[in-house]
């Protein structure tokens, strides 16, 4: 299990990185934390001609939390995001989901943006980007563009970004007012990719009844999706809301696949259970944030 030969560059600026990507052409690939790419190389499941290591590119390692949301630079490691209190205040889903990404040693190296660029439907952050209605900033020789999550995820391990390009950051909009979130997942071993995971956002109306409920699931479907579960609980109070009905609705909306660790039916079961559980928690948080 050793990588096939490749050429390597570690440019010192974004422009240089793009230059190298252009010069090396089709076979060039960006290397960020390497925690997904290097295992693929070692198993020779991928053999890019050139790796363009962006780890020495300055200015990509910041987490910027503002009232609008959290911008996570391409070199921000999972751990850094997990420990960023300001980011957690603006968008609590970030830390909650990141805590479920792998084990600490992987989180020390792997990047949030890398996991989004990797577009693994089993990854937590792809779903979080979707659920928060986020986007990424893509730098290419033609300039920068913003790509919303719906346009970004094309298929499993496949994004719409082609040609020489670097994702320079991901933007996760702030949690809206009167809203709460929760995240939960079930994995065979702690730290593994989830068998099924759920992130939810509950928004209350001024009268503290449920106004809107959205959910996104991990390891369910080929690309992250956001499901609107509002109709199951709309107008209900937090205390009396029928979260089980929302869970039941969610089960009808998803289209999971089966694999070694879970049948499609089992995933569907978990979608219901996790929805019910997370909604109850998220609603409590929404209530607290509405009171405050």
Partner 1 sequence: MTSVDTERSITVTVNGVPREATVPVRRLLSDALRHDLGLTGTHVGCEHGVCGACTVLVDGSPVRSCLVFAVQVDGASVTTVEGLAHDDHQGGQVLHPVQEAFRECHALQCGFCTPGFLVTIAAGLEARDRTAEITEEEVDEIVGGNLCRCTGYANIKKAVRHAAATMKDAG
Partner 2 sequence: MTTKLFGEPVRRREDARLITGKGRYLDDIGAQALAAAFVRSPHAHARITDIDVEGALDVEGLVAIYTYEDLTGPMAEPLPVLIPHPQLHAPRTGYPLANGEVNHVGEPVVMVVATDRYIAEDAAERIVVSYEELPVVVGVDAARDAAAAVHEEIPDNVAARHHQETGDVEAALAGSPRTLSFTQYIERSACMPLEGKGVHARWDPADASLRVYSSTQASTSVRAAIAAKLELSLEDVEVIAPDVGGGFGVKIVHPWPEELLVPMAAIRLGHEVKWAEDRREHFIGSAHERQQRQEITVGFDDEGRITALDVHAWHDNGAYTPYGIIVPIVTATQLVGPYAIPVYRVVVESVYTNTVIVTPYRGAGRPQGCFAMERTMDRIADVLGLDRAEVRRRNLIQADQFPYDHHLTFQDGRPVIYDSGDYPGLLAKLEALVDWPGIEERRAEAASRGKLLGAGMALYVEGTGPGPYEGGHVQVLGSGKVLVSTGLTSQGQGHETSFAQIVASELGVPIEDVEVTTGDTRRFPYAVGTFASRAAVMSGNAIALAARGVREKALRIAAEVLEADPDDLEIADSVVGVKGTPGATIPLRTVAVLSNPLRYAFDEAAKQATQFARAGSDDKPPVAEGDAPGLEHRDYYSPIRSTFASGAHAAVVEIDPTTWEIDVVSYAVVHDCGNVVNPMIVEGQVHGGVAQGVAGALYERMAYDADGQLQNASFMDFLMPYASEVPDVVIDHQQTPSPLNPLGIKGAGEAGVIPGTAAIASAIEDATGRRIASMPISPTELYDVMRSPNAELTAAAGRRTGVGA
Q: Does 152 bind partner 2 (CB under 8 A)?
A: no
CB of 10 to partner 2, least distance (A): 20
Residue 166's alpha-carbon distances to 57, 127, 169, 211, in angstroms, are 11, 20, 9, 38
By the rule CB under 8 A, 6 interacts with partner 1: yes
The binder of 260, among ligand FAD, partner 1, partner 2, none, by C-beta within 5 to 8 A per type, is partner 2
Contact 233, 240 (CB under 8 A): no
Among 117, 182, 202, 213, binds ligand FAD (CB under 6 A): 117
Length of the chain, please?
A: 292
Q: Does 52 bind partner 2 (CB under 8 A)?
A: no
* Part in contact with partner 2 (CB under 8 A); list of ranges 71-79, 84-92, 184-192, 227-235: 184-192
Q: Name which of ligand FAD, partner 2, partner 1, none residue 55 binds, using a CB cut-off of 5 to 8 Å depending on partner kind.
A: partner 1
Query: From its phi and psi, is residue 269 left (phi > 0), alpha (psi between -120 and 50) or beta?
Result: alpha
Angle between helices 264-291 and 243-253 (to 10 degrees): 140
87 binds, options ligand FAD, partner 1, partner 2, none, Cβ within 5 to 8 A by partner type:
none
According to the binding rule CB under 8 A, does residue 111 interact with partner 1? Answer: no
Task: Write the DSSP string, 98-117.
Answer: HTTSS-HHHHTT-BHHHHHH
* Contacted entry of partner 2, partner 1, ligand FAD, none for residue 12, CB cut-off 5 to 8 Å set by kind: partner 1
The residue among 114, 140, 113 whose CA lies nearest residue 19 is 140
DSSP 195: S
The set of residues, in sequence order, having a beta carbon less than 8 Å from that of 208 and lying 6+ positions away, is 237, 238, 287, 290
Shortest Cβ distance from residue 187 to partner 1 (Å)? 12
Is residue 261 involved in binding partner 2 (CB under 8 A)? yes
> Given the rule CB under 8 A, which residues bind partner 2?
1-5, 43-44, 186, 188-193, 195, 260-263, 265-266, 269-270, 273
């Amino acid at each position: 299990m050793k990588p096939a030969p490749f050429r390597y560059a570690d440019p010192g600026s974004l422009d240089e990185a793009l230059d190298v990507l252009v010069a090396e052409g089709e076979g060039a690939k960006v290397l960020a934390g390497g925690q997904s790419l290097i295992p693929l190389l070692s198993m020779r499941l991928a053999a890019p001609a050139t790796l363009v290591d962006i780890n020495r590119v300055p200015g990509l390692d910041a987490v910027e939390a503002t009232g609008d949301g959290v911008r996570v630079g391409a070199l921000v490691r999972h751990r850094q995001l997990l420990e960023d209190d300001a980011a957690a205040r603006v968008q609590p889903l970030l830390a909650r989901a990141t805590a479920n990404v792998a084990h600490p040693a992987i989180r020390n190296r792997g990047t949030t943006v890398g996991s989004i660029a990797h577009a693994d439907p089993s990854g937590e952050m792809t779903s979080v980007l979707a659920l928060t209605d986020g986007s990424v900033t893509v730098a290419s020789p033609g300039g920068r563009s913003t790509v919303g999550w719906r346009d970004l995820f094309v298929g499993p391990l496949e994004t719409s970004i082609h040609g020489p390009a670097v994702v320079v950051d991901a933007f996760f909009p702030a949690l809206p007012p009167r809203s709460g979130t929760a995240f939960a997942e079930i994995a065979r071993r702690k730290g593994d990719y989830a068998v099924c995971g759920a992130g939810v956002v509950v928004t209350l109306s001024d009268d503290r009844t449920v106004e809107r409920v959205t959910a996104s699931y991990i390891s369910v479907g080929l690309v992250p999706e956001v499901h609107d579960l509002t109709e199951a609980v709309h107008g209900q109070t937090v205390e009396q809301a029928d979260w089980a009905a929302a869970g039941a609705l969610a089960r009808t909306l998803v289209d999971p696949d089966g694999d070694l660790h879970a049948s499609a039916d089992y995933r569907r079961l978990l979608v219901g259970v996790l929805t019910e559980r997370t909604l109850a928690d998220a609603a409590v948080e929404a209530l607290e944030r509405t009171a405050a």
